[in-house]
Amino acid sequence: MHEPRAWTQLISDLFKICGRLDVNYTDESGYTHFHAACEFNCPEIVRGFLEHGQDPNCVWPKTGDSALHIVLRYAEWDSDIIEILLRGGADPNVANKEGLTPLHVIAQQDWDCEIVELFFQINDELNQRYLQYCTCGYRRVPVHTHEQFSIHSICTRTRVDSIISVCGKFISDYEN
């Protein structure tokens, strides 16, 4: 039972046994069942929590990570939960305790081009602006110029030409 997919199935099964999506249980660190559903890739459970009024911007106090941060950092490359959260009202500009927004987390990961495109596409459809700065020490730096969080680095790592147009649009929007 050490396989990540096995853990994901186990967590999903536990939620089905519990059956309570109207109550978001919390541990001593503030980590909730909603956070676990996001981390362990349980889209139907995440949707159920949101349908019962769960705040999609619920923050884990220990790290300051929102559900969207958790999905982008830990979930097994699943666009379903990202889409469910964004369309359910998750704020793409919430920064965690490190000052990182979901866009920074995307830039840190080796995400598939389709996930990156989906993030930008949904935010565009919802007319949501995404934060274009990261905090580096005591100064704010544009995301597309910061080496660690460079949107260009996403394009380079994915090695997929179609993402170049998305990055170009993002940088063009930023400069205008």
Among 37-46, 64-73, 152-161, the range of highest mean pLDDT: 64-73
Q: Is 175 in a helix, a strand, or coil?
A: helix
Indicate whether 161 pLDDT > 70. no
- Confidence class of residue 74 from pLDDT cuts 50, 70 and 90? confident
Residue (of 108, 129, 110) closest to 173 by Cα position: 129
H or E stretch at 84: helix 79-87
Indicate whether 55 pLDDT > 90. yes
- Confidence class of residue 171 from pLDDT cuts 50, 70 and 90? very low
- Mean pLDDT confidence for 76-97: 89
Q: How confident is the model at residue 76, as a pLDDT?
A: 65
Encode pLDDT of 97-117 as tens digits: 998 888 888 877 776 677 778
Q: How confident is the model at residue 129, as a pLDDT?
A: 72
**Residue written as token pair 């958790």:** 70
Answer with the residue of higher pLDDT: 123 or 12.
123
| Domains of the chain, earliest start first | 4-173 (1.25.40.20)
Window from 68-72, 86-90, 165-169 with minimum mean pLDDT? 165-169
Specify whether the CB–CB gap between 106 and 122 falls below 8 A.
Answer: no
- Mean pLDDT confidence for 25-51: 89
Q: How confident is the model at residue 140, as a pLDDT?
A: 43
Q: How confident is the model at residue 79, as a pLDDT?
A: 83
H or E stretch at 134: strand 133-136
- Mean pLDDT confidence for 65-79: 84
